[in-house]
Structure 1
Amino acid sequence: MRIIQATLEHLDLLTPLFVKYREFYGSLPYPDSSRAFLEKRLRRKESVIYLALADDDDKKLMGFCQLYPSFSSLSLKRVWILNDIYVAEDARRQLVADNLIRTAKKMAKETQAVRMRVSTSSNNEVAQKTYESIGFKEDTEFKNYVLPISDEL
C-alpha cells in the first residue's frame, strides 16, 4: 500500500469512504454535504488527510485519516488531533490504520508538534488496541467534557 496526502483531486475517491465512516458512527450519509465538508477543509488547509491506496490500483482507497491542528498553551507547541480514521471493510487486518497513523506521526514530528490526540468510542476495543500498539497512552490525568451547541439561546 502507498500512503499519500489527499488533495482536491482525491475528493471523488475519498467521499464514499468518508460517508461509510460517518454511517459507522450513526450519522446519516449526506454524500453531497460530506463532499462539500471535505472540500472546504482541503481548500482552506484546515486539515491534513492521508489516504492509503492499494499498490496495484490508484483508484482503490483502503483507508484514510484526517487530522486537525490545535495548540497547547502550556507547552507553547502545536498539537495534532487525529479526528477521523477509517479502513474499508475489505482492507482490514492489513495494517492500514497502523500505516496511516505512522505517517501522521511523522508529519507531527516534522511540524514540531508536542503530541497527537485521538478519541474513540469506549467500546471500540479494536481501535484502542491499535492506538496503544503504536504508542498512544490513555489520558488518565484529564477528564474530557462536551458542551453541545444548539440553535437555542
Structure 2
Amino acid sequence: MRPNDHPEIRLAHRDDAQAIHAMLFEIAVTTGSEDKFKSTPADIARDGFGDQPLFEAMIATDDQKPIAVCLYFPSYSTFRGQAGLYVQDLYVAPSHRGGGFARKLVALVAKRAQETGKAYIRLSVDANNLIGQRFYEKLGMRPADDERIFVLDGPAFSALAGE
C-alpha cells in the first residue's frame, strides 16, 4: 500500500509522547547512539506537555500512524537581538522519506516561529550526516563554520555546578 500523499501534520500533544519517543530512539539507532539515549516516554510527556513545556513538536501521521516528527524549542540570539527556534530533532520514517515530509515539517516550524515573533531557526546536524547537511542547505540554511558546539554534562557538569 502506498503512503498517503497528504498525511496529517499537526502540533503534537501529550498523547503523542510514546510515538515521539520511539521516533527519537530511531534517530539514536541511525546515528549509532543508542547507548547515549536515556530519555523515556514519561520524560517527553512531562517536559513537552506539562505546565511549563520545554519544547514543542510537529508530528506527521499517515492513517493515524506516526511517521515523522520535528521537535524544537525557543532560542535567543544576543548578536541578532532576536528570538528564534532551535530544531533539536527531525525524523521521517524510512517508508516516507523522499516524499517532502521533512521539508513540510521544517516549513511549519518556520511558520510557527514567524507567527510567534521569532526570526530564525538554528540546528545542528551530525558531522557524518551528509544527506542531512545537503537537505538543510537546500532549505536555504547555511553552516555556521565559525562556531563549534561544546557540551558540559555528567561528572564535569556536576563538578562545575558544585563550585
How high is the TM-score relative to the length of structure 2?
0.81
Q: Aligned partners of 2:19, 2:87: CA distance in 1, in Å?
A: 20
Partner deviation per Cα, 1:67-103 (whole Å, 9 max, x = no partner): 0111122333212111101111111111111111111
Alignment match, 2:54? 46
Alignment match, 2:148? 144
Q: Is the partner of 1:51 in helix, strand or coil? A: strand
How much has 1:41 moved relative to structure 2? 2.1
Q: Aligned partners of 1:15, 1:84: CA distance in 2, in Å?
A: 11
Q: 1:146 to 1:10 in 2, by over 3 A?
A: same
How much has 1:49 moved relative to structure 2? 0.4
Partner deviation per Cα, 1:96-130 (whole Å, 9 max, x = no partner): 11111111111111122121001111221111121
The runs of 5 or more residues in structure 1 that have no matched partner are none
Q: Aligned partners of 1:21, 1:147: CA distance in 2, in Å?
A: 19
Q: Aligned partners of 2:68, 2:151: CA distance in 1, in Å?
A: 30
Larger strand percent: 1
1:106 counterpart (96, 111, 119): 111
CA RMSD of aligned residues (A): 1.9
Q: Is the partner of 1:93 in helix, strand or coil? A: coil
Q: 1:89 to 1:113 in 2, by over 3 A?
A: same
1:1-153 to 2 correspondences below 5 Å: 1-25=7-31, 26-28=33-35, 33-42=39-48, 43=50, 44-54=52-62, 57-58=63-64, 60-140=65-145, 142-152=146-156, 153=159
The question of whether the paired residues in 2 share the 8 Å contact of 1:19 and 1:29 is answered with: no
How much has 1:27 moved relative to structure 2? 2.4
Q: 1:14 to 1:143 in 2, by over 3 A?
A: closer
Partner deviation per Cα, 1:12-63 (whole Å, 9 max, x = no partner): 33222222122223123868x4212211221131101010111xx11x1111
How high is the TM-score relative to the length of structure 1?
0.86
Q: Is the partner of 1:137 in helix, strand or coil? A: coil
Q: Percent identity?
A: 20
Q: 1:29 to 1:150 in 2, by over 3 A?
A: closer
The runs of 5 or more residues in structure 2 that have no matched partner are 1-6
The question of whether the paired residues in 2 share the 8 Å contact of 1:62 and 1:96 is answered with: no
